[in-house]
Homo-oligomer: A and B are copies of this chain.
Amino acid sequence: MKETEQKTVSRATLGRIPVYLQYLRSCAAENPTVSAASIARALGLGDVQVRKDLASVSGAGKPKIGYETAELIKRLESFLCLSRPNRAVIAGAGKLGRALLDYDGFNDYGLEIAAAFDIDPEKFGATGSGKRVYPMDRLCEFCRQQQIRIGIITVPQQAAQQVCDAMLEGGVTAIWDFAPGMVTVPEGVSLQRENLALSLAHLSMLISNN
């Protein structure tokens, strides 16, 4: 998702785009054109929703014809920047950091984890998937050289602000923070906090009241 071509869509719409893509690719050979209605039927989604989703990413289809399947695929791929993924770094190569480093679900959204960083020399080197863990003191320089804009923080709470600052100095403008704490960022930087324990606790609270 590069600056030049990016439109903003809701999280829900964004989540459905890889689903549309998967379906369109599976039926492109037999169906040179495809309508929002037929996509909706195949995926068990609402007609209006599919029409709205596609219009927000790719424009409206042609009356009575719908979309040219190959063209629609290209547009959705281009929306997700699948050919030129956005790259992110991870600070903290503990269990969660390594799980994210090797997680292959990011590809579907045009995202790529470039590398992870840690202070523990035992973690340096390549992981099972071939991704690399580098020394933490190279984090800032790596972000700058590789023009990384997204930083993921999975270090312990007390180290979070320091690695966050190194990322920002390296040019990162979006932080995804798994260290439940008080990382602060200047205006203009996007910060998304992820608290897995809280998510589970909240779910747990809901069942207790059933």
Contact = CB atoms under 8 A, between A and B. Distances in A.
Interface residues of A, number: 53
Contacts of A15: 195, 198
Contact of A200 (B99, B152, B180, B198): B152
Contacts of A176: 199-200, 203
A114 interface: no
Interface stretch (A5-13, A30-38, A69-77): A5-13
A210 interface: yes
Interface stretch (A47-55, A134-142, A186-194): A186-194
A17 to B, nearest CB: 9
What is the copy number of this chain in the assembly? 2
A85 to B, nearest CB: 9
A205 B210 CA distance: 37
Given A96-B99, A105-B180, A149 B197 contact: no
A149 B206 CA distance: 11
Given A95-B103, A206-B174, A192 B197 contact: no
A203 B192 contact: yes
Given A152-B200, A190-B203, 13 more contacts: A1-B204, A6-B208, A80-B201, A88-B200, A95-B98, A95-B102, A100-B196, A108-B197, A110-B201, A150-B200, A150-B207, A190-B206, A190-B210
The 10 closest A-B pairs by CB, nearest first: A109-B201, A95-B99, A174-B207, A105-B197, A6-B208, A99-B99, A96-B99, A1-B208, A15-B198, A11-B202
